[in-house]
């Protein structure tokens, strides 16, 4: 049985970056509107919207979630069509990952 191919440092970095979703505390002050930040924020917002069905079956969390989603939707509307497409695919894939994880 062959041992699996070792990941390069770059790949590992990239993956951890993907899992974190990009915009970390460190970036808070610096120009947030760099494409990466803006993109990742939009992705996160859409993730929330999709996760809504999984996460919020309970009543008390619903109101705050609605507010979050509204804000997220506004941010999402700022993107062009092509970018929206990319984000949609990205979110779809991320949601697949999230739902297939055993702890969900």
- Report the distance separating Cα 104 and Cα 79, nearest Å: 30
- The whole-number pLDDT of residue 39 equals 63
pLDDT single digits (tens) 47-98: 777 776 655 565 556 666 677 767 766 666 666 677 767 777 777 777 666 6
In a domain, 53, yes or no: yes
Contacts of residue 37, Cβ cutoff 8 Å, sequence gap at least 6: 22, 23, 27, 31
In a domain, 16, yes or no: no
- Report the distance separating Cα 40 and Cα 87, nearest Å: 9
DSSP string for residues in 92-103:
HHHHHHHHHSTT
In a domain, 6, yes or no: no
In a domain, 15, yes or no: no
In a domain, 40, yes or no: yes
Write down the pTM of the prediction.
Answer: 0.23
Tell which residue, 103, 87, 86, has the closest CA to residue 50. 87
Q: How many independent structural domains does the chain possess?
A: 1
């Amino acid at each position: 049985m062959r041992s699996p191919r070792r990941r390069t440092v770059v790949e590992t970095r990239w993956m951890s970056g993907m899992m974190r979703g990009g915009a970390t505390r460190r970036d808070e002050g610096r120009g947030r509107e760099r494409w990466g930040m803006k993109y990742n924020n939009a992705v996160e917002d859409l993730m929330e919207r999709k996760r809504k069905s999984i996460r919020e079956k309970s009543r008390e969390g619903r109101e705050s979630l609605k507010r979050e989603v509204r804000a997220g939707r506004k941010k999402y509307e700022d993107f062009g069509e092509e970018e929206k497409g990319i984000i949609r695919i990205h979110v779809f894939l991320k949601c697949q990952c999230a739902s297939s994880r055993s702890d969900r």
